[in-house]
Amino acid sequence: MHLCLCVLVFILAHHGLFATRAIAAQEVVTEFKGELIGAAEAQQRVAHYNDTGFSGCLLQVGNDPLYLDALLKGYPTRFVNHSCGPNAYLHTAGKGAAQSKRIWVCSMKEIGAGEDLCITYPWPFTISPTAADTKCTCGAPGCQEDISAQ
């Protein structure tokens, strides 16, 4: 696994995670990192983030009662965008206790240098989603317009 990503900020649009080199199909691109927290703490943080205008920074680790909060202790992967026509996906792997499991961003198909990496956000991708959390603006052909419909 080689460093092949950069974060770009578009003044009037969004942040994004972009490939700095061509990425082959089915390649493990990078790890989705953050702070590992329990469900009760995750619930409190989501309420706080919603109050301050942030959302979508927590991921559940597999089916375990643990969440990865990428907002404060995150890695550039926290900027991966949603698309109804994704070119990447999240894969949880690990053995034993939930604390040893890791979340990986993997390519679904070839991704060209300069291309935005996009996944279909896992649903629910946050605890207590609001209506604003479910609105999709990806613009991909066949966009569902509602992330919860994925």
Digit-coded pLDDT (tens) for 119-137: 987 765 555 556 666 778 8
What is the CATH classification number for the domain harbouring 102? 2.170.270.10
Select from 149, 122, 126, 127 the least CA-distant residue to 136. Answer: 149
pLDDT at residue number 55: 64
Phi, psi of 106 (to 5 degrees): -125, 145
pLDDT at residue number 118: 92
pLDDT at residue number 12: 44
Helix (H) or strand (E) holding 35: strand 35-38
**Residue 123 or 81, more confident:** 81
pLDDT at residue number 106: 94
In angstroms, the CA 61 to CA 67 distance is 6
Average pLDDT of the segment spanning 109-125: 84
Q: 11: pLDDT confidence band, cut at 50, 70 and 90?
A: very low
Domain residues for 69?
5-149
The count of domains in the chain is 1
**Hunting for tokens 């040893």 — which residue is that?**
100
CB neighbours of 19 closer than 8 A, spacing ≥ 6?
4, 5, 111, 112, 113, 114, 115, 117
Q: 36: pLDDT confidence band, cut at 50, 70 and 90?
A: confident
Residue 99 is classified by DSSP as: G
In angstroms, the CA 51 to CA 41 distance is 16
Please write the tens of the pLDDT for every residue from 49-71.
878 877 667 888 777 788 888 88
